[in-house]
Chains A and B, each alone.
Chain A
Amino acid sequence: MKTALYASAAVLALAAFGTTAASAQSRDTIQIAGSSTVLPFASIVAEEFSAVFPEFNTPVVGSGGTGGGLKQFCEGVGENTTDIANASRPIKDSEREACTAAGVTDIREIQFGFDGIVFASSANGPDFALAPVDVYKAIAAQVPVDGKLVDNPYKTWKEVNPDLPDQPIALAVPAANHGTREVFQEKMVSAGCEEAGLPADAPEDACTTYRQDVVTEISGDYTETLARLASDPNTVGVFGLSFYEQNTDTLKVATVGGVTPSKETVAAGEYPVSRPLFFYVKGQHIGTIPGIEEYVQYFLSEGVSGEGGILEAAGLIPQPADKTAEELADFEAGK
């Protein structure tokens, strides 16, 4: 028994020593966090990166949403902070300020492609041809009727617009922690709000307040939205284009303004609900954490994020090659 006691004490001492050694040892794996829309792309690049650059470890890619990723990114400079933040929207001024306050001054923005946001419903249900104004009328807490704001009276899509199916309104939209929410708000709801024409005395948040009875805000992944659709087939959900494309057997996509979302229509700018995708690099970590520069260069290479590259096969909508070249030049110049 005494030996066991001594052994335990030795192990404890060793553990304590290991802990202090841990903080002294330098990290040699790139740490990434952020948008769940960018996560699949970043993960694929991480895997391929370690195949092409055997001298570096496979970068670790975490999720947490654009907001969560940037918050982690802006916690400071040092080995236990992340090196790269994935984002499905540009960084906000408030986030930049938080970064600067924590000493993160060298933030390099890289735009690497586009993503479409689609409305999808159950594959067995009717077809939807939506316009921003329809979505606004279905989702807003108060809508203008005869020049006055009243509590949303619509129960079915047909009441909103006679061309739409006679199906109860039920919407599953991303919650505010997702970058997708902002694009959805701006390109669909706010656009529709403007079109609907608010009375002059309408409150400021009339375009951004959703009704609570038929709208579900999803803070998890798209699979949660999909589960919502499975339990209530009347639900219309908001998804990323690449998620829809991998689940075409259960989902049916709605047209927006008469345009069917696809890689081609988004790339051509015809489909209105799309957004650029970004990642932000902590310039101060370049040189400390090995491989960051190579990761960025590899990410922006033609075979990866260019046309016909591995990310296009995974659902990314590539941006023009000269835009990518410009982003890379800016990154290398330290911008």
Chain B
Amino acid sequence: MADLTASDSAARRQRVRAGLKRRHLGEQLFRGFGLLAIAVALGFVALLFIDIGRKGIPAFVQTNLHLAVTFDPAVIKLDPKPEPSQFASEAEYRAASLAWQRDAALLNWNKIVEAALRQAAPAGFDIDARALLRIPETNARHQLREMFVANPDLLGQTVEVDLLGSADTDNWVKGNIDRSLGDAQQQLAPEARALIDQFQQEGIISTGFAWSIFTNVDSRSAPASAGLLGAFMGTLWMMLIVIVLAVPIGVAAAIYLEEFAPKSRLTDLIEVNINNLAAVPSIVFGLLGAAVFVNWAHLPLSAPLVGGLVLTLMTLPTIIIATRGALLGVSPALRQAALGMGASKTQMVFHHVLPVTFPSILTATILGVAHALGETAPLLLIGMKAFVASVPATPLDQATALPVQIYLWQGNENRNFFEPRTAAAIIVLLAVMIILNGAAIYLRSRLEKRA
């Protein structure tokens, strides 16, 4: 009998040992597979970042021209700027001032730009005006006009001015266009290219950080000055509306459903629908927004208000679900203790349960907003892909948003210039996202420590 047990256990040991090898192999294979999956995932992320960085980082550098500009009285033939003291009423002064500004705008400021460029070029350099004026960006004339309108005393003076190089100049200086291509395939005339190279040697053309990306609005007439300020403000307004609307509505709905609503078929149905709503593709919300807010409620097209409302609809289910989850996680002991001490249900919720769930709600909110921030499809349907060259001062003004601006730049004709600039806009958007997500993580850990 004892013999039998010994051989039995030996056999079992052998069986286990044989199986052990296989199990170890299985585990190792699984680990290896997991590692491979992580490597592939990280590889793709790295590919994305490297590609965008390689294309986008050079776009944060722009080509500048430093010129001595003479405000030539022979070109600037204007009456003196109207002064408020000359007019009887405010309205008269405003009308005269506008008329004066219009006269100033209708002057040929390009002549002044041209003269400054010729002054900087070597004596006798042969280049026609059209080719020459393609070196600075076309907004140079507006920049000079605005300087003059702000300070008419400049008349007759020579001042040092920093102008933007045109998109074509920028491409040539950075090598975004193949320098070895023939004249027919180049954007700039051979003389202009030679002059740019010379300017660069003399330090008249230099490169610097492209602040214009952050301080300017989108521009088509002067592509090199195109920036993200308008789109950024549009996004900011929308996010404000999303936070102001989605958070109170979402949290209140979640509290009611979780704490007060009777458990019935109706609430079950609502719950299922909210979960479904969270999975609805964003473009559907865009169609809904166009139909309800624009066509029916007659809200303005391309307004951040409408965009914010659509994104609110999109973010609401996320916030409701996250808040309900957080409320469910609160220990029943806390509730019972509060109720046992004689607190009303409302007091129990607001004084005891809600504060505990605050970190989770905040995180869900920030992640929901970050998701809404990157949303493009619904905005295209409510007219937010229009070209807007102004900063929206209120949520009712026309605007675009950061992701839509990326979409618009991606479609711009000047591929050599806008491909890098699109990548730069993507970097800005990703940076905003990372900051938001970082804030979520930081606030969560801080608030959890406190709670």
Binding site for B on A (CB under 8 A): 1-2, 5, 8-9, 11-12, 15, 18-19, 22-23, 25, 27, 29, 31-33, 39-40, 42-44, 46-48, 50-55, 57-58, 60-63, 75, 78-80, 82, 123, 220-223, 226, 242-243, 246-250, 303, 310, 313-314
Contacts and interface: CB of A to CB of B under 8 A. Distances in A.
Nearest to A45: B221
Interface stretch (B2-10, B20-28, B241-249): B241-249
B415 A226 contact: yes
Contact of B413 (A5, A22, A50, A222): A222
Interface in B108-164: 138, 142, 145
Nearest to A44: B221
A249 B185 contact: yes
Contact of A80 (B241, B301, B388): B301
Given A29-B397, A222-B413, A249-B185, A78 B390 contact: no
B186 A27 contact: no
Interface string B399-436: 00000000000111111100000000000000000000
A15 B245 contact: yes
Contacts of A310: 138, 221
A314 B300 CA distance: 31
18 contacts: A8-B252, A19-B305, A25-B396, A29-B397, A31-B301, A43-B387, A54-B102, A60-B302, A63-B386, A80-B294, A223-B410, A226-B415, A246-B413, A247-B413, A248-B185, A249-B177, A249-B186, A249-B187
Interface of B: 98, 101-102, 105-106, 138, 142, 145, 177-178, 181, 184-187, 219-222, 241, 244-245, 247-249, 252, 294-295, 297-303, 305, 350-351, 354-355, 383, 385-390, 395-398, 410-416
Given A8-B248, A40-B413, A50-B390, A23 B397 contact: no
Contacts, number: 141
Given A62-B387, A249-B416, A220 B221 contact: no
B48 to A, nearest CB: 18
A12 B245 contact: yes
Given A51-B105, A223-B412, A60 B351 contact: no
B38 to A, nearest CB: 31
B102 A40 contact: no
B365 to A, nearest CB: 13
Given A52-B106, A220-B411, A62 B385 contact: yes
A79 B415 contact: no
A11 B248 contact: yes
| 5 tightest Cβ-Cβ pairs between the two chains A and B | A8-B248, A62-B386, A43-B220, A44-B221, A221-B411
Nearest to A315: B413
Contact of A48 (B186, B221, B249, B355): B221
Contacts of B302: 31, 60, 62
Contacts of A222: 413
A23 B350 contact: no
B120 to A, nearest CB: 22
Contact of A246 (B187, B248, B389): B187
Contact of B298 (A54, A62, A78): A78
B389 A242 contact: no
Contacts of B354: 1
A75 B383 CA distance: 14
Contacts of A246: 187, 413-415
Contacts of B300: 22, 27, 79-80
B102 A52 contact: yes
Contact of A58 (B106, B247, B388): B388
A15 B102 contact: no
A243 B297 contact: no
Nearest to B177: A249
B369 to A, nearest CB: 16
B389 A46 contact: yes
Contacts of B410: 223
A5 B185 CA distance: 65
A120 to B, nearest CB: 12
A219 to B, nearest CB: 12
Contact of B220 (A40, A53, A54, A313): A40
Given A1-B351, A1-B355, A5-B350, A60 B388 contact: yes
A22 B299 contact: yes
A122 B191 CA distance: 27
